[in-house]
Amino acid sequence: MRIATWNVNSIRSRFARVVDWLVSEDVDVLGMQEIKCKPEQFPVEAFEAAGYEVVAHGLDQWNGVAFASRVPMTDVETNFTGQPGFKKGFEGSEAPLEARALAVTVEGIRLWSLYVPNGRGLDDPHMAYKLNWLDQLASQTSKWLNESPDQILALMGDWNIAPSDADMGDPSFIQGESTHISPKERAAFHEFLDIGMVDVVRSFVPTGYTYWDYKQLKFPKNEGMRIDFILGSKALADICIDAKIHRDERKGDAPSDHVPVSIDIDTGEAELDRPMIF
C-alpha cells in the first residue's frame, strides 16, 4: 500500500495536478493539508472520477485538511482530544478550534493528516499556540501508543519544523531569530520520537527538502527545508519498505510550495482490488 502526504496549498487551484499525481504514482491514500476550503467546496468529482473517495475538514479559506483514498475509510475523526484553538482575543478553552487535524482508518491503519500551526514569530502568540498544540498532540499520541502498543499509526503532514540543521537549507532562517528552527520547536518535534514514533522516511531518504518558498528563486537554488513528515508507530515502521520525496512536483506550472512525501508499506495481504483508470 502506498500512503502519502502533501500540503497542496489550495486544492481548488491544484486539484487536476493532485489527481494526475495520485494516478501516475499509484497512490492508495493521500493526506492533504492547507486545502483552503470548506468540505462542500472541495472538488470531489475529479477525485471520484479517478476512483478516490474524499473526506475533508475545512472551516473557511484558511487551513483545512483532507484525505483521498481508493480503499474504504472508516472511523473519521476531526480534531484530537485536547487540541487547543486560537483566535486573537480568546484565551484557553474559549478559543475556537481550527481545521488542522483529521483522522481516518484504512485497512486497519490509523492515519492523521496534520497541519501544525506556523508560529509566525518567536515572540508571537501563535508560537505559544504552536507549542501547546504540539504538546497536546504528543500527550495524546503517548496515550494511543500506551493503550495499543501494536497499533499501526501514522502522523503525517506539514509540521512547520525543520528538526535538524540538515533539514534547513534556507539561509534566511537564522537560529535565535527565526521560527521553524528554534530549540523549543525542535524539542517539541523530538518529543514524538522520544515517546516511540519513528521518522519512517529518513532511513530511505536521508537528505532532501519538501518545501521551497516561492520568492527569490528558492527552488532553483535549492534553498528549501524539510518540514513535511510521516511519523509512524513502531508497528508501522516495521512494515515500511520504501519512501520517497517527490521533488519534481515543485516544478511546472503553478505548483504548491510543498511536494508530496510517500511511503510504501507491506500489508502482508494480496494486492488490493483497485479501480483501473483509463
pLDDT at residue 277 in the model: 37
125, part of any domain: yes
Cell numbers at 145, concatenated: 501508543
Q: How many other C-beta atoms can be found within 10 angstroms of the C-beta atom of residue 48?
A: 13
pLDDT at residue 215 in the model: 96
Residue ranges making up the domain that contains 36: 2-265
pLDDT at residue 88 in the model: 78
The CA angle 97-100-104, to the nearest 5 degrees, is 115
DSSP bridge partners of 110: 105, 153
How far is Cα 173 from Cα 140, in angstroms, rounded to an integer? 31
pLDDT at residue 269 in the model: 60
247, part of any domain: yes
pTM of the model as a whole: 0.95
274, part of any domain: no
Give me the residues of the chain with pLDDT under 70, please.
91-93, 269-278
What is the CATH number for 82?
A: 3.60.10.10
Tell me how many domains the chain contains.
1
228, part of any domain: yes
278, part of any domain: no
pLDDT at residue 99 in the model: 98
How far is Cα 208 from Cα 238, in angstroms, rounded to an integer? 23
133, part of any domain: yes
